[in-house]
Amino acid sequence: MNKLTFDRKMLVIPYVFFLVCFVILPLLVIVYYGFTDGSGHLSFENFLAFFTNPKTMGTLVYSLVIAVTVTLICLAIAYPVAYILAKGEYAKHHFFLMIFVLPMWINFTLRITALKEILTVIEWNLALHPFANTIVGMVYDFLPFMIMPLFNAFTKLDSSMIEAGRDLGANSLQTLTKVILPLSVPGIISAVTMVFLPAMTNYVVLDMMYNSTYIMGSLIGSYFSSFDWNNGSVISAILLMFIGLCTILTNYAVQSKAERSRA
């Protein structure tokens, strides 16, 4: 009788199981529901409805405005912070990095609730500035996700590159724009991806900040809560395509730059 032998390849089984159950099947379900009608027939109606309905298109635009604003503000704050944490005088003390990363250990609804109290003291009535409060809430929530990839990119950045730039006559500002910035592009791309999608969909922050406008996430949520699986799914699928397209475009932009210099 053959003994049951353990092969290293067997280690892949749990991963494949997980991948199929929680990634591939749900994706197929989304696509199935997105492109069928209530009775299970193939249909592009939901898809077309999204792009022809001014309300859903308005939501898409509003989501984009929020996501772009949040991403830009996060980038503006995180870029210098990550640089100082990685290359500054106290770079070896992870204490300062901890200060920025520690909030990730606390549940985000708890953090937003605390932020609300602070904002209430400043603004008196939160309902007066729903957009601004949403932005503040999201920036606060997503900042660590922006800092970490940038921090990693900067720790890997070879200091002799910066010195070479200085050596060849670049002042501090020129060193930033001509050496540090181009070298940190991969870090920026992954940091932006980490923040952009959540900012388009995380409607819990909006709810908590008394912002009654819909974003993509709230739209999906509202369809699902009224058991309209088809319309909810199609929006999920559209978002998925949207993100996929963004990733392909940025990769293309970065690669073609490298290719241009190779040609």
Partner 1 sequence: MNSDNLIELIHVSKSYDGKTDVIEDFSLEVKKGEFVTFLGPSGCGKTTILRMIGGFDTPSGGQILLEDSDISLLPPNKRPVNTVFQKYALFPYLNVYDNIAFGLKLKNMPKDEMTKKVSEALDIVDLSGYEKRSITTLSGGQQQRIAIARAIVNEPKLLLLDEPLSALDYKMRKEMQLELKEMHKKLGITFIFVTHDQEEALTMSDKIVVMADGKIQQVGTPEEIYNEPANVFVADFIGESNIFHGVMGENQKVSFAGSEFQTVDDFEPGTKIDAVIRPEDVDVVAPGKGQLSGKVTSSDFKGTFYITFVQCGAFEMEVHCLKHYEVGEEVGLQVLPDNIHIIPYDTTKNHYEGTLGAFTEEGISVTFADISVSVAPEKIFEGCQVVQGQLQDRKGLTIDPEGRKVVVYFPPNQAKLLDDMSAGTVSGVINSFYYIGDHYSYTVRSDAEFDYVVDDPYLWNQGDRVSVSIPVDQMEISLVKE
Which positions touch partner 1 (CB under 8 A)? 158, 160-161, 163-171, 174, 178-179, 182-183, 185, 257-258, 261-263
- Closest separation in Å from C-beta 174 to partner 1: 6
- Is the Cβ of residue 116 or residue 166 nearer to partner 1 in the bound state? 166
State the Cα–Cα distance between residues 191 and 188, nearest whole angstrom.
Answer: 5
For partner 1, which is the closer residue by CB, 161 or 246? 161
Looking at the Cβ atoms of 111 and 166, the one nearer to partner 1 is 166
Complex with partner 1: residue 23 or 185, whichever CB lies closer: 185
CB of 254 to partner 1, least distance (A): 9
Report the nearest approach of partner 1 to the CB of residue 94 (Å).
21
CB of 158 to partner 1, least distance (A): 7
